[in-house]
Amino acid sequence: MGFIRHVVCAMSGGVDSSVAALLLKRRGYSVTGVFMKNWDSLDESGVCTTEKDCEDAHRVCRALDIPFHQLSYVKEYWHDVFSNLLREYEKGRTPNPDILCNKHIKFNHFHKYAINTLGADAMATGHYARTSQEDEEVFQQTHATPSTTLFRDRFEIRNPVRLHKGADLLKDQTFFLSQISQNALRQTMFPLAGLTKDFVKKIAAEAGFHHVLKKKESMGICFIGERNFENFILEVRDEISAISSVHSGWFTLTLGQRARIGGQKDPWFVVDKDIGTGNVFVAPTTNHPALFRDTIRTDRFHWVTMDPPPELAKTQMLECHFRFIHQMPLTPCTVTLNMDGSVWISLSEPVRALTPGQFAVLYKGDECLGSGKIIQLGPSQYTLQKGRERLTTHPSNTENHSIQCIRLEPPVHENKWSQDMT
- Of residues 101, 320, 333, 368, which has the active-site annotation? 101
* pLDDT given at position 418: 45
Q: State whether residue 409 is helix, strand or coil.
A: coil
* pLDDT given at position 35: 97
* pLDDT given at position 410: 47
- Of residues 222, 320, 333, 368, which has the active-site annotation? 222
Do residues 370 and 362 lie in contact, with contact meaning Cβ atoms separated by under 8 Å?
A: yes
Strands (E), 38-156: 68-72, 122-124, 129-131
145 in a domain, yes or no?
A: no
Structural domain containing residue 163: 6-140+156-214
Mean pLDDT, consecutive 10-residue stretches, the chain (422 aa), reads 84 97 97 92 60 95 97 93 88 91 97 97 97 83 53 58 96 97 97 97 96 76 55 56 48 82 80 82 90 97 96 93 96 96 97 96 98 96 87 60 64 47 50
* Residues 304, 400 within the same domain: yes
- The pTM assigned to this predicted structure is 0.86
Q: Is the dihedral of CA 173, 176, 178, 183 positive or negative?
A: negative
CATH number assigned to the domain comprising residue 358? 2.40.30.10
Is 48 catalytic? The answer is no
Q: In what order do the strands lie in the sheet with 122-124?
A: 68-72, 30-37, 6-11, 122-124, 188-189
Helical spans, DSSP H, in 131-224? 135-139, 182-186, 197-206, 210-213
129 in a domain, yes or no?
A: yes
* Residues 283, 359 within the same domain: yes
* pLDDT given at position 392: 76
* Residues 203, 259 within the same domain: no
* pLDDT given at position 413: 45
335 in a domain, yes or no?
A: yes
64 in a domain, yes or no?
A: yes
257 in a domain, yes or no?
A: yes
231 in a domain, yes or no?
A: no
Nearest by Cα to 33 from 56, 65, 66: 66
Q: Which residues pair with 272 in a beta bridge?
A: 281
Do residues 126 and 422 lie in contact, with contact meaning Cβ atoms separated by under 8 Å?
A: yes
* Residues 296, 389 within the same domain: yes
Nearest by Cα to 337 from 375, 297, 379: 297
* Residues 34, 81 within the same domain: yes
Is 61 catalytic? The answer is no
Helical spans, DSSP H, in 274-331? 310-315
* Residues 121, 172 within the same domain: yes
* Residues 397, 299 within the same domain: yes
Nearest by Cα to 123 from 189, 204, 40, 31: 189
240 in a domain, yes or no?
A: no
* Residues 191, 294 within the same domain: no
* pLDDT given at position 122: 96
146 in a domain, yes or no?
A: no
* Residues 301, 198 within the same domain: no
* Residues 203, 336 within the same domain: no
**Distance, CA of 286 to CA of 272 (rounded, Å):** 14
* Residues 126, 74 within the same domain: yes
CATH number assigned to the domain comprising residue 204? 3.40.50.620
What are the CA-CA distances from residue 362 to residues 160, 176, 190, 305, 384 (Å)? 17, 12, 21, 13, 26
* Residues 275, 406 within the same domain: yes
Do residues 57 and 33 lie in contact, with contact meaning Cβ atoms separated by under 8 Å?
A: yes
Number of domain units in the chain: 2
Among 189, 214, 239, where does a domain finish?
214
